Amino acid sequence: MLGDALVAGLYGVALRAALFGESMFTRKSDASKIALVHLMARLRHGRFLLLDAQFSNDHLQQFGITEIDRADFQGKLADALFTEADLALEIPSAQLVIPFLNSLTNQAS
């Protein structure tokens, strides 16, 4: 959001602890990257195990996205489908972003 205007977003389908990203949009340059940071913070907070982004790029890789082969994907998917997760939509995503970014900084140290 920029003021009251929606400037970027994404959607996907969540099945237990797996989220399958389907589409992103942006109306301002790089705003979809900010939306992705908010999503990653929410997934981490909610104990999601798998984000299927359908493709890989530098931006996704800085958050730990890696390409995996079919057998690995099927194993991770099986684990995710047997695990509870919660998008915690009652928590504003802005509240989740700073702890998420701090965790990335701590991992890099």
User: Looking at the predicted structure, is the pLDDT value of residue 1 above 70?
Assistant: no
CA distance 78 to 82: 7
Count Cα neighbours of 69 within 13 Å in the Cβ-side half-sphere. Answer: 1
Residue 90, token pair as written in the block: 């009652």
pTM score, whole prediction: 0.83
Condensed to tens digits (0 to 9), the pLDDT of residues 10-56 reads 889 999 999 998 887 888 888 878 888 889 899 999 999 999 988 88
Q: Under 8 Å CB-to-CB from 89, ≥6 apart: which residues? A: none
The string over 61-99, giving b where at least 16 C-beta atoms fall within 10 Å of a residue's C-beta and e elsewhere, is eebebeeeeeeeeeebbeebeeeebeeeeeeebeebbee
**Residues 41, 93: contact at Cβ < 8 Å?**
yes
pLDDT surpasses 70 at 109:
no
Asked if residue 38 lies in contact with residue 89, where contact means CB atoms within 8 angstroms, the answer is: no
